[in-house]
Structure 1
Amino acid sequence: MQTPRVSLDPLRACFFFDAAESAGRLVFAPLARAPAATLTAGDLVARGGTGGDYRRTRGEETALPGVVALTYIDPQRGYQSASVEARRVNGRANAVQRVSVPLCLDEGAARGIARALLYQGVVEREQLGATLPPSCLALDAGDVVTLSLAGGGTDYRLTRLGLELGRPASAIRTDLAVYAYRDGTATPRPAEPPPTVGVALFRFLDLPLLRSDAVPHAPYLAAYTAPWSPVAVLRATAGGAFEDDATVGARSIIGRLTADLYPGPCGRWDRVNSVYLEVPRGVELASAPEVDVLNGANVAALLTPSGEWEVLQWAQATLLAPGRYRLATLLRGQLGTDFALGSPTPIGAPFVVLTDALVQSGMPLSARTVPLAWRWGPLGRPQDDPSFAGATLAFRGVGLRPYPPAQGRLVRAASGDLVLSWVRRTRIDGDPWEQLEVPLAEEVEAYSLDVLAGPGAGAAVLRTFEVGTPALTYTAAHQAADFGGPVTSLSVAIHQVSATYGRGAALRATLYA
Structure 2
Amino acid sequence: MATIVLSTLGSMLGPLGQVVGTLAGNAIDNALFAPEPREGARLKELTVTGSSYGTPIARQYGKMRVPGTIVWSTDLEEHRDKQSNGKGAPKTVTYSYTVSFAVALSSGPIDNIGRIWADGNLLRGAAGDLKSAGTLRVYKGHGHQPRDPLMEAALGSQCPAFRGCAYAVFEDLDLTDFGNRIPALTFEVLAGDASRLVETMLEDSEVSADETTRFAQLGGFSHEAGSLRDVARLVDRLHPVAPVVNDTGMKLGAASANAAAPITLPQAAAWDDGDFGKQGGVTSARNSARSKAFASLRYYDPAREYQPGLQHAENSEAGTTTFQFPGALSASDALGLAREANGRAAINRDRLLWRCCELDPRIQPGSVVIAPGRPGLWLVDGWEWRERGVELDLVRHRSGFGQGGAADAGSGWSPLDRGASTTQLRVFETPWDGSGTASQRSIFAAASAATGRWSGAALYAERDGGLIALGQGAGERAVSGVLASPLGSSIAMRLEPSASLRVQLLDDEAELYGSTLSGIAQGDNRLQVGNEVVQFRAAEPLGAGLWELTGLLRGRGGTEIEAGTGHASGTLVTLLDDRLVPLGANPLAQSESQFAAIGLWDTEPARASLENANASLRPPAPVHCRMERAADGSIRLSWRRRARGQWLWLDEVAQPLVEEVEHYKVGYGLISSPQATWLISAPELSLAADEVDALRAAQAGEAFWVQQFGSFAQSPASVLGTLA
In which range does the TM-score fall when normalised by the shorter chain?
0.5 to 0.7
Q: Does 1:475 align with 2:696?
A: no
Which of 1 and 2 has greater Rg? 2
Q: Does 1:221 align with 2:445?
A: yes
Change (3 A) 1:373 1:459: closer
What is the rounded CA distance, in whole Å, between the counterparts of 1:407 and 1:480 in structure 2?
A: 25
- 1:499: which partner in 2? 711
| Structure 1 segment 413-432 matched on structure 2, within 5 A | 413-429=630-646, 431=648
- 2:527: which partner in 1? 300
8 A contact 1:208–1:400 mirrored in 2: yes
1:411 to 625, 628, 653: 628
8 A contact 1:418–1:476 mirrored in 2: yes
What is the rounded CA distance, in whole Å, between the counterparts of 2:626 and 2:413 in structure 1?
A: 62
The alpha carbon displacement at 1:371 in A equals 5.1
The alpha carbon displacement at 1:437 in A equals 0.9
1:244 to 470, 482, 499: 470
- 2:504: which partner in 1? 278
What is the rounded CA distance, in whole Å, between the counterparts of 1:259 and 1:335 in structure 2?
A: 24
The alignment partner of 1:285 has SS state of coil
What is the rounded CA distance, in whole Å, between the counterparts of 1:299 and 1:190 in structure 2?
A: 35
| Structure 1 segment 61-210 matched on structure 2, within 5 A | 75-76=121-122, 80=131, 194-196=419-421, 198-199=422-423, 201-210=424-433
Q: Does 1:376 align with 2:376?
A: no
Q: Does 1:448 align with 2:675?
A: no
What is the rounded CA distance, in whole Å, between the counterparts of 2:554 and 2:647 in structure 1?
A: 18
What is the rounded CA distance, in whole Å, between the counterparts of 1:440 and 1:287 in structure 2?
A: 33
Gaps of 5+ in 2: 1-118, 125-129, 133-175, 180-410
The alignment partner of 1:341 has SS state of helix
The alignment partner of 2:682 has SS state of coil
The alpha carbon displacement at 1:239 in A equals 6.7
Displaced runs of 4 or more, over 4 A: 76-81, 100-103, 186-193, 362-368, 370-373, 391-395
1:286-316 residue CA offsets vs partner (Å, 9 max, x unmatched): 121222111211111101xxxxx10010012
Read off the aligned partner of 2:685 and give its amino acid letter: L
8 A contact 1:450–1:464 mirrored in 2: yes
What is the rounded CA distance, in whole Å, between the counterparts of 1:246 and 1:255 in structure 2?
A: 23
- 1:256: which partner in 2? 482
The alpha carbon displacement at 1:211 in A equals 4.4
8 A contact 2:491–2:563 mirrored in 1: no
The alpha carbon displacement at 1:236 in A equals 4.6
Aligned residue pairs total 324
- 1:336: which partner in 2? 558
| Structure 1 segment 32-71 matched on structure 2, within 5 A | none
8 A contact 1:417–1:473 mirrored in 2: yes
Change (3 A) 1:216 1:267: farther
Q: Does 1:390 align with 2:603?
A: no
Change (3 A) 1:394 1:316: closer
The alignment partner of 1:478 has SS state of helix
1:211-251 residue CA offsets vs partner (Å, 9 max, x unmatched): 42167325200111232312111115447762324211221
What is the rounded CA distance, in whole Å, between the counterparts of 2:557 and 2:719 in structure 1?
A: 17
> Quick one: percent identity of the two aligned structures?
24
Change (3 A) 1:233 1:192: same
8 A contact 1:256–1:348 mirrored in 2: yes
The alignment partner of 2:499 has SS state of coil
- 1:31: which partner in 2? none
| Structure 1 segment 10-25 matched on structure 2, within 5 A | none
- 2:581: which partner in 1? 359
Change (3 A) 1:224 1:429: same
1:23-82 residue CA offsets vs partner (Å, 9 max, x unmatched): xxxxxxxxxxxxxxxxxxxxxxxxxxxxxxxxxxxxxxxxxxxxxxxxxx992575959x
Change (3 A) 1:80 1:432: farther
Change (3 A) 1:475 1:404: same
Change (3 A) 1:223 1:432: same
1:266-298 residue CA offsets vs partner (Å, 9 max, x unmatched): 131123431111112111111212221112111
1:331-386 residue CA offsets vs partner (Å, 9 max, x unmatched): 00001111112633111000001111111125656975x5544221116x8xxx73
What is the rounded CA distance, in whole Å, between the counterparts of 1:341 and 1:326 in structure 2?
A: 18
The alpha carbon displacement at 1:509 in A equals 5.1
- 2:45: which partner in 1? none
Read off the aligned partner of 1:259 and give its amino acid letter: S
8 A contact 1:479–1:486 mirrored in 2: no
Normalising by structure 2, we get a TM-score of 0.40
- 2:376: which partner in 1? none
Read off the aligned partner of 2:436 and give its amino acid letter: D
8 A contact 1:495–1:504 mirrored in 2: yes
The alpha carbon displacement at 1:430 in A equals 6.0
Gaps of 5+ in 1: 1-72, 82-99, 104-185, 304-308
Change (3 A) 1:273 1:394: closer
8 A contact 1:74–1:80 mirrored in 2: no
8 A contact 2:483–2:503 mirrored in 1: yes
The alignment partner of 2:512 has SS state of coil
Change (3 A) 1:224 1:330: same
The alpha carbon displacement at 1:257 in A equals 0.7
The alpha carbon displacement at 1:481 in A equals 2.2
What is the rounded CA distance, in whole Å, between the counterparts of 1:224 and 1:466 in structure 2?
A: 46
The alpha carbon displacement at 1:459 in A equals 8.7
What is the rounded CA distance, in whole Å, between the counterparts of 1:188 and 1:345 in structure 2?
A: 46
The alignment partner of 1:483 has SS state of helix
1:452-481 residue CA offsets vs partner (Å, 9 max, x unmatched): 36xxxx896322221111101133233222
Task: Tell which has more relative contact order, 1 or 2 (C-alpha 8 A, sep 6+).
Answer: 1
Please provide the CA RMSD for this pair: 3.7
What is the rounded CA distance, in whole Å, between the counterparts of 1:366 and 1:505 in structure 2?
A: 27
What is the rounded CA distance, in whole Å, between the counterparts of 2:723 and 2:431 in structure 1?
A: 31
Normalising by structure 1, we get a TM-score of 0.56
Q: Comparing 276-285 with 473-482, which one deviates more in the overlay?
A: 473-482
What is the rounded CA distance, in whole Å, between the counterparts of 2:412 and 2:615 in structure 1?
A: 44
8 A contact 1:262–1:273 mirrored in 2: no
What is the rounded CA distance, in whole Å, between the counterparts of 1:442 and 1:403 in structure 2?
A: 12
8 A contact 1:301–1:353 mirrored in 2: yes
What is the rounded CA distance, in whole Å, between the counterparts of 2:584 and 2:650 in structure 1?
A: 34
What is the rounded CA distance, in whole Å, between the counterparts of 1:286 and 1:247 in structure 2?
A: 26
Change (3 A) 1:240 1:285: closer
The alignment partner of 1:504 has SS state of coil
The alpha carbon displacement at 1:210 in A equals 3.3
